[in-house]
Structure 1
Amino acid sequence: MTGSLTTTTTGERADLLETLGKHRFFLRHTAQGLTDEQAALSPTVSALSLGGLIKHVANTEAAWLRFVLGGAELMEKDSTPWDEQHRMMPGETIAGLLERYEEVARETDEVIATLPDLDAGHPLPVAPWFEKGKSWSARRVFLHLIAETSQHAGHADILRESIDGQRTMG
């Protein structure tokens, strides 16, 4: 989160920024000190790796930001194959994935701080996991990002502990 946003943003927006920032910190912290090889490991029954999880969270946050700014059509503009969105690909580094996540976070934080109306919304994309005909406001999307980031930070903590025994959230 940029310093200017925390000093000029108050009320609900400051709460959203602070809470999202806290959970992003927990997620990023799980990768601290890992090599690229460790970040690409899938040490549990799941196919998830820390690098893949961070990549997924960054991509998902970017997609929801596009939704806030332009609706479902913009949200779905990612041609990367599904499996490549969830794992570290050859040539990717944990540092690069974290840098991308930071870029997405800065963009999201700027929108949270400056969007004229948090009540503005769009119909959700058509998908089996979304209620048909439902719309979400920008506020609802940002609350969803907080929940998603928190949940994935917990997943990341389990992955990290499986890699080297380090517990990052407890």
Structure 2
Amino acid sequence: MSIQTGDKIPAVTLKVMGEKGPQDISSEEIFSGKKVVLFAVPGAFTPGCTLTHLPGYVVNADKMKAKGVDTIACLSVNDAFVMDAWGKSQNAEELMMLADGNCELTEALGLVLDGSGFGLGKRSQRYAMIVDNGTISHLAVEPAGAVDVSAADKILALL
């Protein structure tokens, strides 16, 4: 069963790249007392994620922050090294690049994508959510292969 609007974000530890390498960051630290736009992709450097999904958030980051968003976070079931390199390659300095390398948050949300048929193992479904102080106020999960309801312009219109 996947998470729904009105539910709280589960308590897990993710990774971000720090000055000295990968660092732990708790979901509480990311979401508590903040308005956060979290979007997830099946994989860093993959075509739909790199050409369509991530760029929309990079381009619209200032507009989202002007509407009261404290943090825009991109999550993938990749490691912190990959997420950091992908963020740098896409000029995503305004975004928090979250590594869910062990698929812990993705599994807790019930939003796992089985990519084993493509040699990808467990991945995240493509989605976006607006989270207010740890509670999901909007959730948009994409059908397989689509980048529509979770696109930055759709989320921006809801803020």
- Same fold per TM (> 0.5)? no
Larger helix percent? 1
Normalised to the residue count of structure 2, the TM-score between the two structures is: 0.28
Larger radius of gyration: 1
Larger strand percent? 2
